[in-house]
Amino acid sequence: MLIWFYSLEPPNPVQSPSTASVKQIERWSQQLSLLDRRLFVDVAIGMHSTQIDTRWLELGQEFIRMVNLIDERDASGEPLTAGIRNGLFRIDYAVKRSELLYTSVLASKLGKLMPRLADREAHWLHQIPERSDGKMDICLYLEDGVATWAPVCFFECGLNCASRQKNQQAIAYGVNLSPQLLPDHVALDVELVFSATDHGDELGWMRLYGFRLVEGRKVGFANIWLLIRFLDCFRQSRWSHNRIFLYSDTACGSK
């Protein structure tokens, strides 16, 4: 199996991922089978089997708390009555609530919440360039030996846009990141859209994909979860059924 993966050639990069067309993406990617989808789920569950559900629930709730804080809301999602008068999130002389603010704060917070995964040091990199010189919002790397940082997950985020608007861009980044995958490894592609214009009653929506190199110089993508209202999952403590959709160490594993 290891030799088979070494023989796979990565595809050429998708240029300008933020404006990638369907035609560009289809040339270098393909949909994986339901069997492959099961593989990604099995890898994810295996990675979480050593942790208790309450710990993942706490981490998820802290992630949501930070999103609410940027949006000037308390932990329950209600508007802060007094507002924030000092620091980064102050309401006067305010920093624009942009996608860049969300992703930079969340990358920093994820690094604090999860400094190690699978007994290895985790690096949560923000706006890291890939081979076409596009910049991924957040990318998680784990150290593998002295000189190798292995990508296991990246986040593509959107703000005040349609819930599916980031789909093509995320797939393009997966194609461009694929040559960095370790032999026999898979990774996750997470789409996060905050304040989706087509779902105004939700804090955010998420889609999760698994991807790996396949034959024909392509990257295969498997839909794992679609259209998950992740705020509801934490509010209603449904983490036991959805526990692997948020934290990206789930992708670190062998095929």
As a whole number of angstroms, the distance between CA 172 and CA 107 comes to 21
At residue 34, the pLDDT reads 74
Report the predicted TM-score, pTM, of the whole model to 2 decimal places. Answer: 0.82
Kindly state the average pLDDT of the residues 187-197: 88
Least confident of 86-90, 106-110, 114-118, 139-143: 114-118
Highest mean pLDDT among 4-13, 80-89, 139-148, 194-203: 139-148
Highest mean pLDDT among 5-9, 124-128, 189-193: 124-128
At residue 130, the pLDDT reads 95
At residue 111, the pLDDT reads 92
Q: Above pLDDT 90, what percent of the chain?
A: 34
The answer to whether residues 117 and 86 touch, using CB atoms and an 8 Å cutoff, is: no
Kindly state the average pLDDT of the residues 19-46: 79
Least confident of 42-51, 56-65, 97-106, 246-255: 246-255
- Would you state the structure tokens that stand for residue 48, as one six-digit string? 């979480």
Query: Each residue of 35-91: pLDDT tens digit?
Result: 777 777 666 665 555 455 566 677 778 888 888 888 888 877 788 877 788 899 888
Residue 244's pLDDT band (boundaries 50, 70, 90)? very low
Kindly state the average pLDDT of the residues 223-251: 49
> What b/e string do you get for 69-92 counting C-beta neighbours within 10 Å, with b at 16 or more?
bbbeeeeeeeeeeeeeeeeebeee
Q: Of 210, 172, 208, nearest to 11 (Cα)?
A: 172
**In this model, does residue 247 exceed pLDDT 70?**
no
**In this model, does residue 233 exceed pLDDT 60?**
no
